[in-house]
Amino acid sequence: MLIAGNWKMYKGPAEAAEFCAVLRGRLAGLEGVDVAVCPPFVSLGAAVQALAGTEIAVAAQNVHWDAEGAFTGEVSAAMLLELGVYGAIVGHSERRQQFGETDETTARRAAAALEAGIWVIACVGETEAEREAGETEAVLRRQVAALDPHDRLVIAYEPVWAIGTGRTATPELAQEAHALIRSVLDVPILYGGSVKPENAADLLAQPDVDGALVGGASLEVESFAAICEEAAKKQ
């Protein structure tokens, strides 16, 4: 089971280092769950240093499909590896909605990162309008079908209507979506979308939920650690 914390555009290097120092102590001795933090690019180095010698992984929030080139504002897999970062999120709904990410570019980012030796969390999920229109299954099948199977690929199901809204898919809805995704591509599948210590146990208890991609609740050590501890109980 994997619990990954997506910090989004929060925590500069100093705050990231302080958080990670506390987290490593808080999770010392925790077994049965893989843990990762996903800081902004500028804080990756600080996180790698603060978590050195622990089992807590550091992942980026994005990665480009080319090794180098005229791509202002992008970062390559090789650059991440040189920094000591071995994971990356791709295709997050905020990237899709606000920055023009598509199924195709998400797949290209994932393929390049995986080929370079980085593990990938590829995000999929329907909007509220798509769910209300009965298009959830078609959207998920399309998004997942764009990805190729790989032993370092993880999918995160994030219903867009539940991200940052405080709304959460019921455990039953999450399980239904995860089972559908697994029927298309059999890889580990995380749930994301307002995961909190209060709902983590019920979500993680579902048979096709293999962990969580945590947003807001990953910004506080205690709430993030509590979710990690709930995950460890499910092993």
Q: Distance between CA 38 and CA 166 in Å, rounded?
A: 20
Range of the domain at 148: 2-233
pTM given for the model: 0.95
Res 222: pLDDT: 97
Q: Is 234 helix (H, G, I), strand (E, B) or coil?
A: coil
Q: Among this protein's residues, is 31 annotated catalytic?
A: no
Res 168: pLDDT: 73
Residues 129-138: pLDDT tens digits? 898 899 999 9
Residue whose entry in the numeric block shows the structure tokens 């999929």: 124
Please, which residues bridge with residue 188 across strands? none
Which among 64, 92, 94, 230 is annotated as catalytic? Answer: 92
The Cβ-side half-sphere exposure at 111, using a 13 Å CA radius, reads 11
Residues of the chain falling short of pLDDT 50: none
CATH code of residue 155? 3.20.20.70
Alpha helices by DSSP H, listed for the chain, are 13-26, 44-50, 77-83, 93-99, 103-116, 128-132, 136-145, 171-184, 197-204, 221-233
Q: Distance between CA 174 and CA 180 in Å, rounded?
A: 10
For residues 172-201, b (16+ Cβ closer than 10 Å) or e, as one string?
Answer: ebbbbbbebbbebbebbbbbbbbbbbebbb
Q: Among this protein's residues, is 94 annotated catalytic?
A: no
Res 158: pLDDT: 93
Which among 94, 126, 158, 229 is annotated as catalytic? Answer: 158
- Number of domain units in the chain: 1
